[in-house]
Amino acid sequence: MDWFCELPNLTKTDPEIADLIKKEIGREEFGLQMIPSENFVSPALLEALGSVLTNKYAEGYPKKRYYSGFEFVDPIETVAIERAKKAFGVPHANVQPYSGSPANLAIYVATCNLGDTVMGLNLPDGGHLTHGWKTSVSGMFYKPVPYHVKEDGYIDMDEVSSLAQQHKPKLIWVGATAYAREFDFGAFAKIADEVGAYLVADISHITGLILSGAHKSPVEHVHLIMTTTHKTLRGPRGAMILVTKKGLEKDAELAEKIDKAVFPALQGGPHEHQIAATAVALGEAMRPEFKENGMQIVKNAKALASVLMHRGLKLVSGGTDNHLILVDLTPFGAGKGVFASEALEAARIFVNKNTIPKDPSSPFYPSGIRLGTPTLTTRGMKEGEMELIGGWIADVINEIKRYELPAKEERAEYLKKFRADIKSNSRIADIGTKVRNICSNFPFYFKN
């Protein structure tokens, strides 16, 4: 087993933390990690992320730093920038954002004034907090006008057009965190251009699919792109902001505005170990095997969706075009997401409870679950495995149908009893054993 599994130095100096990390390695190795915003990074990337670059304070940009000692760090960040520009075909890239939410805030700072109107997909309809939701600074500091999905689960483009014409937003987001269909970037561009809005694609979930050719690219249609570097890109937990040719045609100073918004407006020293790992991820993403992986992610998701529907489960929009599936559990009652996610975890299948459009319950007790295929595909699983896994998921959900979300004052005691029930459920335990066995047949990538 490699050093990042054995942890020899950490085991010696801090056995408590080392033991917990080793247990997490075991959880990932012998469970099905199906939260669609997660993936497994390569051993090479882990080496970059855990390198001495974490020691360097690097406030500023390459060749424009506020400290000394950048003989090697500047070239590393430059490599990350150039690889991002090449991979996406854009003229400018900023690789310093710490993560997706601060990167999106930088876009607001660069393009909007406080109080400007912005549009994004409604959070319960699959959107993201930073696209104007009321509890986010994006909804507190700016005037949000949300758009929605239709009854069929697809984005209501007629509504997007109508709202844009009515409210004349400064910025329109296209992107989501729980939307299973392909985005029509061209249709959004037509609407944004008509009202003079900046169009920003938040492609955090689908970046790897775009670079694989499994999803259309937004580059020719939008002014700015934000993407996290984890998820389907299989990189570290970070983010990038890309300025397109169209963006520079709209505002020749847009690249400079983005850079100033990231630093010094919102961030201090960038995390150069994270940036080095991003460079590694981008290098890997331009290899043929990465493109094959991206295509297989979608094939697996479609196969899994088909099995789930065949087993009687309702999917929002009736299927998927990408890496994720949103299961609507309201046919079995409101608020079933918490029961399904915890029962599946007991069977070593890790998904997340999630709201569905027009959810009759609350975000804390939502009526859906969100799951996806990136990590399963990284392990080498294909359509045959999706057939098995889909059946196990359906079997677990059958075990929780009889549980009903009680009144608020009764929930703590009810959920305590539910958790005891699933721990002693022999059917769920049997599925957990099958999950462990299939994971053994697809060895954890750390040991490749």
Residues recognised as catalytic: 57, 59, 202, 228, 231, 237
Tallying the residues shown for the chain, one arrives at 448
First-to-last alpha carbon distance for the chain, in angstroms, is 9
Asked whether the beta carbons of 319 and 302 are under 8 A apart, the reply is yes
Q: Which residues contact 125 (CB under 8 A, 6 or more apart)?
A: 146, 148, 149, 179, 357
CA dihedral sign, ordered 72, 78, 84, 87: negative
Q: 241: which 2 tokens?
A: 């902001």
Distance CA 15, CA 8 (A): 10
The neighbour count for residue 256, using CB atoms within 10 Å, is 13
Look up tokens 């009854």; give the residue: 151
Q: 134: which 2 tokens?
A: 């009321």
* CA dihedral angle for residue 82, residue 61, residue 244, residue 134, rounded to 10 degrees: 130
Asked whether the beta carbons of 241 and 106 are under 8 A apart, the reply is yes
Query: What is the full DSSP assignment across 41-81?
Result: --HHHHHHHTSGGGG----EETTEESSS--TTHHHHHHHHH
Distance CA 289, CA 317 (A): 30
Distance CA 392, CA 386 (A): 10
The neighbour count for residue 322, using CB atoms within 10 Å, is 24
- Rounded to 5 degrees, φ, ψ at 253 are -100, 10
Asked whether the beta carbons of 240 and 278 are under 8 A apart, the reply is yes
